[in-house]
Amino acid sequence: MRVDSLPLSSTCSECGKRKYCLVDDLIENRTTPGKRIFILNTSVRVDSHIVYQGDKTKSLLFVKSGSVKSVYTDESGDQQITQFYFAGEYIGLITLKHQVHATAAITLENSIICEITLDPIVNEAVRSQPFLSKIHQRLDAEIRRQYHNQLINNQYPAGKRIGMFLLELVERQKLNHNNTALLRLAMSRADIANYLGLTAATVSRMLSMYNVLGLIAASKKNIRINDINALRKFVA
């Protein structure tokens, strides 16, 4: 991670997010309590590159708070947002086993990002089957999500894409120990549009539609899902 950011000094043992972090498993087996596993625990400002496309993989990034987008840029400069990452999620899992980051990572809001050294992770993965499974589980989920998005963007109309996008975010928030129907979309409409293969105008229109239907209550960055089952039914 190369970026102007505030290093926050603390140990993993003291970290509030510890029990949602892979590092937790590593600390349990340590004789030296209070050991720091991470390289950097930093407060990062909105719109900062925390990974550049083409960077060598040397760590895993844990989003402690805030959110991040992954952006692929092609030779002619066109860009594709390939994924959003939220609090409790890891950036770099897909890249973990090969050498370079195929996408950049950019914060969508002021965030706290913890950079975790690869070595102890890999060592523990070799030693402990349950730990390896945890990593696999997260990686598998991300890869499945990737394929599912490809399907959605290729075959479904704009309304369903937005609806499924919202549903996915609620599900992920739940997985990340925030089981509410309240979403905070830190990214711009244009970012959502790029991610879903639409335009900002269409994203706006579809959100308005869901609003009118009473399925959601959207005001700017904040969205409440009024009736998640009705929404599920609507996009099915």
Binding site for DNA (CB under 7 A): 157-159, 188-190, 197-205, 207-208, 218-221
Residue 198 Cβ vs DNA, minimum distance, rounded to whole Å? 4
Pairing of strands 67-73, 111-117: unpaired
Instruction: Phi first, then psi: give them for residue 118, nearest 5 degrees.
Output: -75, -40
Q: How far is the CB of 149 from a second copy (least distance, A)?
A: 8
32 binds, among a second copy, DNA, none (CB under 5 to 8 A by kind): none
> Helices 158-175 and 129-155 sit at what angle, rounded to 10 degrees?
160
Q: What is the nearest approach in angstroms of a second copy to the Cβ of residue 179?
A: 22
Counting contacts by CB under 8 A, is residue 194 touching a second copy? yes
How far, in Å, CA of 233 to CA of 236, rounded?
Answer: 5
Q: Which is nearer to a second copy, 48 or 149 (CB)?
A: 149
Q: Where are the alpha helices (DSSP H) in the chain?
A: 23-28, 118-127, 129-155, 158-175, 189-196, 200-212, 228-235
> Which of these segments, 7-15, 17-25, 99-107, 166-174, binds a second copy (CB under 8 A)?
99-107
**What is the pattern of x (binds a second copy, CB under 8 A) and - over residues 39-78?**
---------------------------------x-x-x-x
The answer to whether the beta carbons of residues 115 and 1 sit under 8 Å apart is yes
The distance of Cα 29 from the centroid of its chain, to the nearest Å, equals 28
Tokens of 231: 């929404």
Interacting residues toward a second copy by CB under 8 A: 72, 74, 76, 78-80, 82, 94, 96-100, 102-103, 136, 139-140, 143-144, 146-151, 153-155, 194, 196-197, 236
